[in-house]
Amino acid sequence: MPAYRQPFIASSEITPEQCFVKRRSFLSMAAGGLIAAGSGLAATAAPLTAQQSTYKVDEELTPEKDVTGYNNYYEFGTGKGDPAANSASFKPSPWTIKVDGLVGKPKEFGLEELLAFPMEERVYRMRCVEAWSMVIPWVGFPLKALLDKVEPLGSAKYVAFETIVRPEEMPGQSGFFQPLPWPYREGLRLDEANHPLAILALGVYGNTLPNQNGAPVRLVVPWKYGFKGIKSIVRISLTETPPPSTWNLSAPSEYGFYANVNPAVDHPRWSQASENRIGGGGFFGSNRRPTLPFNGYADEVAGLYSGMDLKANF
């Protein structure tokens, strides 16, 4: 069974001797490929073994330092560097996701059960609604594999997701300025959720997710804007009606339920026709490229929306 990094322990809480023991156990366990424990100085990633997948875009990977240093995760602040700077004491283990609603077999999945699904490494193009993009090697498994285990009822048409609420560990949930209503929520139509491209990611760049990327488990839906990729999921509910989603609740004229990447539908305050590819060395703005319909995944997913007006259903 793959193991996960241990809960983070603040360096102020441990003695040098504990630190030594922890470091030693980290080194021996990591060498065995079993676990990477917090050293007491920083949460350490554990390697995640994965099958190579055919879902790999043939584009240069965004450097790991940008994938883990340029983030949106408002629970830890609204600046791009805030999630990396403010999430070190977040505890991604132990963890459970409750899956309920219109299902035959509601179930709570522990982290070990999630890690036991066959993992694949998938290199996906990712496009944020703010008109920047990355190419990211996620490690995860199809969301459908999890949904199948709970046996969705015929009446289930949508899937609702919720992020954890933990103000003690999430400064964006406890400060005077609350940028969003919590918990962060997202939703998909059930057929979107069952599409093979939609995955639950537990890792990136070969290791378990850093806290700033949504540890221990987050959604990745590469044909939609980044905000659909809800992080640190604790609940998944199957519903008959469209679930609320955080950005749609906050600004319904700017963020729709579908949020499919669409260069032909501008955000009310900026164009979506092109994007800035993060990393790669150029000055900001010099790495522009056209945005592709469905973020380049039209061949795979356009059929999900045949007959729909994608300007009205943005």
Ligand X SMILES: Nc1nc2c(c(=O)[nH]1)N[C@H]1C(S)=C(S)[C@@H](COP(=O)(O)O)O[C@H]1N2
Piece in contact with ligand X (CB under 6 A), picked from 39-47, 56-64, 96-104, 228-236: 228-236
Footprint of Mo ion on 3-32 (CB under 5 A): none
Smallest distance, Mo ion to C-beta of residue 72, A: 5
- What are the beta bridge partners of residue 275? 289
Give the range of 31-39, 84-92, 229-237, 279-287 binding ligand X by CB under 6 A.
229-237
Q: How far apart are the first and last CA of the chain?
A: 42
Residue type, 271: S
Map residue 31 onto helix, strand or coil: helix
Binding partner of 187, given Mo ion, ligand X, none, CB within 5-8 angstroms per partner class: none
Neighbours of 187 (CB within 10 A): 22
> Is 41 exposed, middle or buried (CB count within 10 Å of its CB: 0-12, 13-18, 19+)?
middle
Q: Residue 102 interacts with Mo ion (CB under 5 A)?
A: no
* CB-count exposure of residue 304 (10 Å: 0-12, 13-18, 19+): middle
Q: Closer to ligand X at the Cβ: 85 or 153? A: 85
Give least dist CB 242 to ligand X, A: 19
Residue 74 found at the interface with Mo ion (CB under 5 A):
no
Work out how close the CB of 128 gets to ligand X at its nearest, in angstroms, rounded to a whole number: 4
Residue 218: how many CB atoms within 10 A of its CB?
A: 23
Burial of 253 (0-12, 13-18, 19+ CB in 10 A): exposed
Nearest distance in Å: CB 219, ligand X: 8
Q: What are phi and psi of 70, to 5 degrees?
A: -125, 95
Q: By three-state DSSP, how is residue 142 classified?
A: strand
For residue 226, the minimal CB distance to ligand X (Å) is 2
Q: What does the alpha-carbon distance between residue 249 and residue 180 come to, in Å, rounded to a whole number?
A: 9
Within 133-162, the residues that bind Mo ion by CB under 5 A are: none
Please select the residue that binds Mo ion; options are 74, 184, 205, 227, rule is CB under 5 A: 227
Interface with ligand X (CB under 6 A), residue total 16
Size of the residue set binding Mo ion (CB under 5 A): 5
Binding at 230: pick from Mo ion, ligand X, none (beta carbon under 5-8 Å per type):
ligand X
Please state, in angstroms and rounded to a whole number, the distance separating the CA atoms of residues 208 and 215. 8
Q: How far is the CB of 188 from ligand X (least distance, A)?
A: 13
Hey, which residues between 130 and 159 contact ligand X (CB under 6 A)? none
What is the footprint of ligand X within residues 167-186 (CB under 6 A)? 184
- What are the residues binding ligand X (CB under 6 A)? 71-75, 128, 163, 184, 213-214, 226-227, 229-232
- What are the residues binding Mo ion (CB under 5 A)? 72, 128-129, 226-227
